[in-house]
Structure 1
Amino acid sequence: MGRESSNEWEDEPLTPAGRLFAQPEMRQIIHCVVGTKNPFDIDSVKSELRKSAMLQHPRFTSLLVRDHRGREHWRPTQVDIERHVLIIDRPLSDADHDSAVNSYLADLSTEGLSMEKPLWELHILMAHNCAIFRIHHSLGDGISLMSMLLACCRKLHDPHSVPTIASSSSSSSSSSSSSRSRNTTWPNILWNLAVTFWFCLVFALEFILRCLCVRDRKTPLSGGAGVELWPRKIATASFSLQDMKTVKTAVPTATINDVLFAVISSGISRYLDFRAPNGVQEGIQLTGLAMVNLRKQPGLQELSNLMKSNSGARWGNKFGMLLLPVYYHRSNNSDPLAYLKRAKAMIDRKKQSLEAHFSYKVGDLVMSTLGPKFASWLNYRILCNTTFTISNVVGPQEDIMMVENPVTYLRANNSALPHALILNMVSYAGRADMQVQVAKDIIPDPEFLAKCFEDALLEMKEQVTAKI
């Protein structure tokens, strides 16, 4: 942004994705949850905020306004920290800390942000040693915002260094590169191109049909139009990353994401066995909508790279969608590792199809030609026609601290959607926490569903270790 001759900052138009998330049907708030070992020093928190990288970014110091044509812009303004930091001194309930914080998050999931100030807030739950960053999705996606959050943290054992950010695909990229080196003959190249073209065609058609008319059959997990307004509940499923790494060794070249989706597939089947033992058809499809980072450098990015205009990383919203089907199988008749084999085969085909890139390009084209209202309608339709949402953000591998306070956990979730089930996972220091957000009138027992996911991973681990 530059200055006008009157020394006032110019308004900056929103990006196409930012305009999409400014529409009423797609308005989304991202909640970054930080648990700490000790209570917060409020004065220190406010002092760090004032000098943080966050308040050097123009989107965090601007109002979202509309001009006379209804087009959205960022308008720079002065930030009053006192209006953005909300202190909750009293205990939220007599429940344990996790349950109390999750209940508070569930209430926030149906609330918006005031448009009279920049679109972020920090809620500090003093009695629970927890801070919740509420950030409008038009400011950026989960990768951008987690990178911004970690830029405000330091390594626990090296207070002068920012956290190390690992790529989510460093290991898989090396294996894929070695695979490519073995398949560089012309017949293999032509075959791979033909397979990629076929998958692109099939999955592009499937994506378009999902936007327009094809929808999942109704199950005890189904949402639909208007469900985003229903009351919510949240539970946390916790996993050991070492357990996930052990499980992925059962299938050659499998990744943590393959294991995660296998756990979700198995956990959903377990839950449906309990909730509808005779009411769900064997093999019925439940489709997940996965958000995929499309930056050239996968995983989280250093904030300095995101802020460079010529960087392949780039700040903002840079993600596509994948349609990931889950098939119900009675858990007492299934091999636990069969879920991993099916998940890997399906995700490998999806990667080869370029479906995530296709969905991003289609969304960008629709926004540019038909406007945000039609793009919002299409996105809302695909949400109504699928069953659940899933996202996975890789966090720092080492212990970190915020305002000299050791961080005990990192979690994330977002505003309610037409889905009755939303799954958001963040890994941190050897642990992965998945927030299980549900419409409580459809899925009244998210704690049991979270346990189904945890038990699914443990059963897969036992199966692997028994074979060693």
Structure 2
Amino acid sequence: MASHLGLLKPIKTHRVNQGKGDAKEEEKEEPLSPLARLFHAPQVNCFIVVVFGCKTTIDVDVFKHGLEQTLIKHPRFSSKLAFDTGKVAEPLKWVRTVVNIDDHVIVPDLDPNIESPDQFVEDYASNITKTPMDLSKPLWELHILNVETSEAASIGIFRVHHSLGDGVSIISLLLACMGKASDANAFPSLVANKKKANDPCTKSHPWFLGFVFTLMSMLKVFWNTLMDVTLFLATIICLKDDKNPLKGGIGIEKTPRRFVHRMLNLNDIKLVKNAMGVTVNDVALGITQSGLSRYLYERCGEAKGDKMDSESSMLSHSRIRATLFVNLRPTTVVQDVANVINAGSNVGADWGNKIGYILCPLHIKLRDDPLDYIYDVKAAIDQKKRSLVAQFTYFTTSLLLKTLGLQAAVMIMYKSLSNTTLSFSNVAGPMEEVSLFGHPMVFFAPSIYGFPQALVIHFQSYMDKMAVILSVDEDVIPDPHKLCFEIEKSLMLAKNAVMENKLANKL
């Protein structure tokens, strides 16, 4: 596979100043952003893990060369932490350093005839969460597993500390290192955000009707924001989710995690979306709510036809909420991240952690119509879209970091997460096949660990598939594959209901 070296896109790099007669790089420093400092606090010390599969065996030398020409040129991935000199070691700056690629690319010597390669990869990814990262080097690493699984010919596991950037930033960076499988010099295409044509505010009206619509919209946003902010503040102070089989206890953020994923058919999701007049995110969260309902009732015995015990009878009346993460960037453009790599600087780039979050209630109950779960979610999400609470959470955290200090901001984030049950996010991926350093990609499965929750659910699209990825504490959720299956089954039930109700005729 040495010929793959010729497929790498040329990268123009920003040269650093050199001293007189000295070829050594000039040391560059940049202070940590407030949110980057927050993600180093013990209570929310978070890592992003991206498991990806390739169609071919990974050529390690090609990958190393590719990383040197792309990822390492990004300033965050070629910088290490500098700590203060006080009693409590706290990272304060990013300091540019020379990266030894062999310190970051780990290639274990594996038996090609492993008895259960899928289980081995799952166990390997779980073991990574038990291993601390060396803070004296740039905070990322890539594990290459040349073992054939049921989905791919080889596996890569990319681990990066959350202080380097949020999930959208990291996925965009990986895509900026890739090219279309059909054209290695072309960047992957992402789904563009579209404004709904049936939004009254987007239609042409006489000026007085337009004024009325605008005023009503502003009042609705104000009221929804007031209600959501009140709920957010109450959650920080005292409002906790009810005890349920998915909720972790004190110290759950420090326990090892297991990552499992399942591939859904994105065309089935789009079929349901178009028939119901909702969004992909509505369908994803709706089938998640449906899958969680059946999973929880089965754990309590109700789904098996047994007599409902006291625990299962309380499920439909329990307060169970999901923390939904929202990307606050107006657009996600892979080219912008590529420009950061080309310039070797973050100046003028919208990089880092720029996410807000909202609290969404989940109604755990067994319904006769599987589409009701999606309609339920749509009503809740539509209300959240007409609210500025996501922006409020982001700016409140940043303001507290700058005024009251790190511990106040950590308390806000920790309480808002630990007092809810789970986290959820949905990220759009490339619409066509892409390759990484000449290796065609089969799937992406990003996730996270270090949150004070026992369950984190991510959805990630790629081509005509949608991966649902669970990050779980096995002591709380001992059968995560069962939960994945229930979410997949929920999509099939929704699709069948759409076809039976002949809603598909609207397509």
TM-score when normalising by structure 1: 0.92
What is the match of residue 51 of structure 2? 33
What is the match of residue 392 of structure 1? 426
The DSSP-based 3-state class of the residue aligned with 1:409 is strand
| CA–CA distance in structure 2, aligned partners of residues 395 and 224 of structure 1 | 33
Q: Does the 8 Å CA contact 2:431/2:462 hold for their aligned counterparts?
A: yes
Which one of the candidate residues 432, 446, 452 is aligned to 2:466?
432
Q: Does the 8 Å CA contact 1:3/1:10 hold for their aligned counterparts?
A: no
| Change in CA separation of 1:345 and 1:235 when aligned onto 2, cut-off 3 Å | same
**1:448 matches 2:482:** yes
Report the Cα offset of residue 353 of structure 1.
1.0
User: Matches of residues 351-362 of structure 1 in structure 2 within 5 Å?
Assistant: 351-362=385-396
Q: For 1:262-290, what per-residue CA distance to the aligned partner results, in whole angstroms no more than 9, with x for missing partners?
A: 01110110101110133232232311111
| Change in CA separation of 1:250 and 1:283 when aligned onto 2, cut-off 3 Å | farther
Aligned residues: 460
The DSSP-based 3-state class of the residue aligned with 1:444 is coil
**1:198 matches 2:233:** no
Greater shift after overlay, 371-380 or 12-21?
Answer: 371-380
| Change in CA separation of 1:388 and 1:62 when aligned onto 2, cut-off 3 Å | same
What is the match of residue 271 of structure 1? 295
| CA–CA distance in structure 2, aligned partners of residues 423 and 95 of structure 1 | 29
Q: For 1:287-332, what per-residue CA distance to the aligned partner results, in whole angstroms no more than 9, with x for missing partners?
A: 1111110001157664246678686x701111101111101112xx
Identical pairs, percent: 34
Q: Does the 8 Å CA contact 2:72/2:78 hold for their aligned counterparts?
A: yes
What is the match of residue 36 of structure 2? 18
Q: Does the 8 Å CA contact 1:109/1:414 hold for their aligned counterparts?
A: no
The DSSP-based 3-state class of the residue aligned with 2:441 is strand
Report the Cα offset of residue 44 of structure 1.
1.1
Q: For 1:344-402, what per-residue CA distance to the aligned partner results, in whole angstroms no more than 9, with x for missing partners?
A: 11001011111111111111111111112221122111121000011211110101111
Which one of the candidate residues 198, 202, 219 is aligned to 1:180?
202
| CA–CA distance in structure 1, aligned partners of residues 333 and 425 of structure 2 | 12
Q: Does the 8 Å CA contact 1:166/1:300 hold for their aligned counterparts?
A: no
Q: Does the 8 Å CA contact 1:238/1:434 hold for their aligned counterparts?
A: yes
The DSSP-based 3-state class of the residue aligned with 1:263 is helix
Which amino acid in 1 is paired with 2:95?
A: R
| CA–CA distance in structure 1, aligned partners of residues 390 and 371 of structure 2 | 26
Report the Cα offset of residue 234 of structure 1.
2.7
Which one of the candidate residues 61, 86, 98 is aligned to 2:78?
61
| CA–CA distance in structure 1, aligned partners of residues 29 and 102 of structure 2 | 25
| Change in CA separation of 1:21 and 1:92 when aligned onto 2, cut-off 3 Å | farther
Q: Does the 8 Å CA contact 2:257/2:449 hold for their aligned counterparts?
A: no
What is the match of residue 363 of structure 2? 327
The DSSP-based 3-state class of the residue aligned with 1:158 is coil
Which amino acid in 2 is paired with 1:87?
A: V
| Change in CA separation of 1:195 and 1:288 when aligned onto 2, cut-off 3 Å | same
Which amino acid in 2 is paired with 1:106?
A: S
| CA–CA distance in structure 1, aligned partners of residues 200 and 111 of structure 2 | 54
Report the Cα offset of residue 412 of structure 1.
0.6
| Change in CA separation of 1:301 and 1:288 when aligned onto 2, cut-off 3 Å | farther
User: Matches of residues 304-315 of structure 1 in structure 2 within 5 Å?
Assistant: 304=338, 314-315=350-351
Q: For 1:211-240, what per-residue CA distance to the aligned partner results, in whole angstroms no more than 9, with x for missing partners?
A: 121100001111132112334333212211
Which amino acid in 1 is paired with 2:273?
A: K
Which one of the candidate residues 247, 250, 257 is aligned to 2:281?
257
| CA–CA distance in structure 2, aligned partners of residues 93 and 340 of structure 1 | 44
User: Matches of residues 61-460 of structure 1 in structure 2 within 5 Å?
Assistant: 61-68=78-85, 70=90, 72-91=92-111, 94=114, 96-128=116-148, 129-167=154-192, 169-170=193-194, 173-175=195-197, 179-182=201-204, 185-252=210-277, 254-276=278-300, 277=302, 278=308, 279-280=311-312, 281=314, 282-298=316-332, 302-304=336-338, 314-330=350-366, 333-460=367-494
**Which consecutive unaligned segments of at least 5 residues does structure 1 have?**
none
Q: Does the 8 Å CA contact 1:84/1:122 hold for their aligned counterparts?
A: yes
Report the Cα offset of residue 4 of structure 1.
10
| Change in CA separation of 1:301 and 1:209 when aligned onto 2, cut-off 3 Å | farther
Q: Does the 8 Å CA contact 2:176/2:338 hold for their aligned counterparts?
A: no
Report the Cα offset of residue 192 of structure 1.
1.3
Report the Cα offset of residue 177 of structure 1.
6.0
Which amino acid in 1 is paired with 2:32?
A: L
Q: Does the 8 Å CA contact 2:27/2:97 hold for their aligned counterparts?
A: no
Report the Cα offset of residue 203 of structure 1.
0.1
| CA–CA distance in structure 2, aligned partners of residues 97 and 427 of structure 1 | 24
Report the Cα offset of residue 132 of structure 1.
1.1
Measured on the aligned residues, the alpha-carbon RMSD in Å equals 2.3
| CA–CA distance in structure 2, aligned partners of residues 20 and 179 of structure 1 | 38
| CA–CA distance in structure 1, aligned partners of residues 479 and 17 of structure 2 | 54
The DSSP-based 3-state class of the residue aligned with 2:376 is helix
| CA–CA distance in structure 2, aligned partners of residues 228 and 99 of structure 1 | 24
| Change in CA separation of 1:394 and 1:301 when aligned onto 2, cut-off 3 Å | farther
Q: Does the 8 Å CA contact 1:92/1:100 hold for their aligned counterparts?
A: no
**Which has more radius of gyration?**
2
Report the Cα offset of residue 190 of structure 1.
1.5
Q: Does the 8 Å CA contact 2:201/2:210 hold for their aligned counterparts?
A: no
| CA–CA distance in structure 1, aligned partners of residues 41 and 476 of structure 2 | 26
| CA–CA distance in structure 1, aligned partners of residues 321 and 179 of structure 2 | 39
The DSSP-based 3-state class of the residue aligned with 1:175 is coil
| Change in CA separation of 1:301 and 1:436 when aligned onto 2, cut-off 3 Å | farther
TM-score when normalising by structure 2: 0.85
| Change in CA separation of 1:92 and 1:21 when aligned onto 2, cut-off 3 Å | farther
What is the match of residue 465 of structure 1? 499
Which amino acid in 1 is paired with 2:365?
A: H
